[in-house]
């Protein structure tokens, strides 16, 4: 028969060891025992035990010392300390040093067995989590990219918090990936095969929101013709995700606080409490602390939610992630659209890198999809980018952005710079066709040619940089 778990007993009193062996042995645990700290630690070093029961008073050392060594050398072993009398001082020290629990002699057999069983469950989970984290470190988080330090920190945090049930508050501007992070936390947690239930609180009136969350019993309100389960019940053993948590009203905040504290609630119009095991993840793009200061958000709820805070920086503050994201979305959209390898032209790339991304990753994702869909060849030209991105740089700086730039310069110089900008802009919009640009500027081609020469606009180099890439890609 496979043992239910391995336990090491370290106690100098022989009759204590014997009665523990008898009790735990009859339950099918694999047991070893030691009468001294030295012998106990030697055995613990020889094989990994799931659990150790350690007497506080040992002849050759204190049990607390043994606990410290165990926690250092065998962190996957759970430890229960055994004390001769109920001393809160010892209990405090034991828990400070990482003991999972403690029992006092004489113990109650049933309670001891329950304690052992629940600790073994937890230590099994811990061992699984250690393995799981190792695998994640090796293979990375799926579907979420970023190499900036800020994003690496976010990934580390996700890996640390996913195994637990801790409530997480994700903050970040619109489109920074809050929902993606919430999903990743769920998908890499032990709850992964249970539901992930997103709730968008913003659009619903209070009554509807509460019945959506908590369910209702028949007759709770006029249209409640049948009882209905709420999303908290749907999410049982899984994760519930509150999007835009800052928009929920104070009344509902109070109910939410109760669920977080008690893990139970009542259906609307109901009298029975419903117990659920739900992990709560919330997101906001407004500063909740500000809402707290303005009395629009309950402070106690804020602290309950903010147990683990994940902050997603805007894309403009982590520009080193842009190339990675471009690759990621380019690969995805070219695959989805049945296209081969695709690349951005150097000019397009420069515009993308220079852009400020007010819409963050979502804006970038949309820009890539649009370019892929609109392009006929494998090279995505600047002209395929949305106007607000293409307008930005054109690979050179605009002269007329403000009058601070005209100080100390001649009018002729200023006008020439402006003329150069306008011609470059039009050339870029015309895919560097001089004929087309001349038409659009309503000047003869020969005049455009003269201006290009006089203003020393390097058309050849620009066009070539696009063409060379196109050719090299085309010949693959
Ligand atoms: N680091 C990332 N790697 C890959 N894709 C990402 C990343 N961050 C965001 N995305 C993608 O960008 C889009 C927007 O992300 P998401 O919906 O999670 O943002 P959000 O912060 O919830 O936005 P909003 O505040 O507007 O609700 C999604 O399609 C998401 O998959
Ligand atoms: Mg969102």
Say how far apart CA 7 and CA 201 lie, in whole Å: 48
Whether 286 and 342 share a structural domain: no
Give the residue, out of 182, 361, 366, with the most ligand 1 atoms within 8 A of its beta carbon, to mutate for a pocket test: 361
Q: Among 98, 130, 162, which residue terminates a domain?
A: 130
Cα(475) to centroid of ligand 1, in Å? 35
Contact residues of ligand 1, CB 6 A cut-off: 144-146, 172, 174-180, 285, 328, 361-362, 365
The model's confidence at residue 362, banded by pLDDT at 50, 70 and 90, is: very high
Whether 120 and 229 share a structural domain: no
Whether 325 and 308 share a structural domain: no
For Cα atoms 375, 464, 417, give the angle at the middle one, nearest 5 degrees.
Answer: 95
Task: Identify which ligand lies nearest to the alpha carbon of 314.
Answer: 1
DSSP string, 28-79: T-EEEEESSHHHHHHHHHHS--SEEEEESB-SSSBHHHHHHHHHHH-TTSEE
Give φ, ψ of 283 to 5 degrees: -130, 150
Atom of ligand 1 nearest to the CA of 172: 21
DSSP string, 131-197: HHHHHHHHH--TT----SHHHHHHHHHHHHHTTS---EEEEESTTSSHHHHHHHHHHTSTTTTS-EE
- For residue 29, tell me if it sits in a domain: yes
Whether 153 and 104 share a structural domain: no
The model's confidence at residue 155, banded by pLDDT at 50, 70 and 90, is: very high
Cα(179) to centroid of ligand 1, in Å? 6
**Domain CATH for 78:** 3.40.50.2300
Whether 308 and 392 share a structural domain: no
Predicted pLDDT at 228: 84
DSSP string, 184-212: HHHHTSTTTTS-EEEEE-TTS-HHHHHHH
- pLDDT tens for each residue of 125-138: 666 656 666 666 55
Cα(365) to centroid of ligand 1, in Å? 9
**Domain CATH for 202:** 3.40.50.300
Q: Of 251-260, 334-343, 459-468, which gets the smallest average pLDDT?
A: 459-468
Q: Among 261, 288, 312, which residue terminates a domain?
A: 312
More confident residue, 325 or 377: 325
Predicted pLDDT at 410: 75
pTM of the model: 0.60
Whether 155 and 300 share a structural domain: yes
- For residue 140, tell me if it sits in a domain: no
- pLDDT tens for each residue of 245-280: 999 999 899 999 999 999 999 999 999 999 999 999
Whether 365 and 243 share a structural domain: no
Predicted pLDDT at 429: 81
The model's confidence at residue 220, banded by pLDDT at 50, 70 and 90, is: confident
- For residue 15, tell me if it sits in a domain: yes
Mean pLDDT of 185-208: 85
- For residue 324, tell me if it sits in a domain: yes
Q: Of 140-154, 321-335, 366-380, which gets the smallest average pLDDT?
A: 140-154
Helices (H) and strands (E) in the chain, counts: 20, 14
- Is residue 184 predicted with pLDDT exceeding 50? yes
Tokens representing residue 327 in the block: 């690759």
Tell me which residue range forms the domain holding 297.
149-312
Task: Identify which ligand lies nearest to the alpha carbon of 181.
Answer: 1
For the chain, how many structural domains are there in total? 3
Whether 353 and 304 share a structural domain: no
């Amino acid at each position: 028969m496979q043992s239910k778990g391995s336990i090491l007993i370290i106690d100098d009193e022989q009759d204590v060891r014997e009665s523990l062996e008898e009790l735990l042995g009859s339950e099918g645990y694999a047991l070893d025992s030691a009468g001294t700290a030295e012998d106990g630690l030697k055995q613990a070093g020889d094989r990994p035990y799931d659990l150790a029961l350690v007497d506080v008073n040992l002849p050759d050392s204190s049990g607390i010392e043994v606990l410290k060594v165990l926690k250092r050398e065998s962190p996957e072993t759970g430890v229960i300390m055994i004390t001769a009398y109920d001393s809160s001082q010892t209990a405090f020290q034991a828990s400070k040093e990482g003991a999972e629990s403690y029992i006092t002699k004489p113990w109650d057999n049933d309670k001891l067995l329950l304690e052992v069983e629940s600790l073994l469950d937890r230590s099994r989970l811990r061992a699984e989590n250690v393995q799981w984290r190792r695998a994640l470190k090796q293979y990375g988080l799926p579907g979420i990219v970023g190499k900036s330090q800020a994003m690496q920190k976010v990934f580390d945090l996700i890996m640390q918090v996913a195994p637990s049930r801790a409530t997480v508050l994700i903050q970040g501007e619109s489109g920074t990936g809050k929902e993606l992070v919430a999903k990743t936390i769920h998908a890499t947690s032990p709850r992964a095969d249970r539901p992930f239930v997103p709730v968008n609180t913003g659009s619903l009136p209070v009554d509807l929101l509460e019945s959506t969350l908590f369910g209702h019993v028949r007759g709770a309100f006029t249209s409640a013709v049948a009882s209905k389960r709420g999303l908290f019940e749907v999410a049982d053993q899984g994760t519930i995700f509150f999007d835009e948590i800052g928009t929920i009203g104070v009344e509902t905040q109070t109910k939410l606080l109760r669920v977080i504290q008690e893990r139970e609630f009542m259906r609307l119009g109901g009298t029975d409490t419903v117990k659920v095991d739900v992990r709560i993840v919330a997101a906001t793009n407004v500063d909740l602390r500000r809402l707290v200061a303005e009395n629009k958000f309950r402070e106690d709820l804020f602290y309950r939610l903010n147990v683990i805070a994940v902050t997603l920086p805007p894309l403009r503050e982590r520009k080193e992630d842009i190339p990675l994201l471009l690759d990621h979305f380019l690969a995805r959209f070219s695959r989805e659209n049945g296209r081969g390898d695709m690349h951005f032209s150097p000019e397009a790339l420069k515009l993308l890198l220079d852009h400020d991304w007010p819409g963050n990753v979502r804006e970038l994702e949309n820009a890539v999809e649009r370019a892929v869909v609109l392009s006929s060849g494998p090279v995505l030209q600047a002209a395929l980018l949305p106007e607000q991105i293409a307008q930005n740089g054109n690979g050179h700086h605009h002269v007329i952005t403000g009058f601070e730039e005209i100080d100390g310069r001649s009018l002729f110089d200023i006008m020439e710079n402006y003329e150069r900008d306008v011609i470059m802009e039009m050339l870029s919009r015309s895919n560097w066709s001089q004929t087309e640009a001349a038409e659009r500027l309503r000047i003869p081609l020969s005049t455009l040619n003269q201006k290009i020469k006089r203003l020393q606009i390097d058309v050849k180099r620009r066009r070539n940089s696009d063409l060379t890439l196109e050719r090299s890609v085309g010949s693959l």
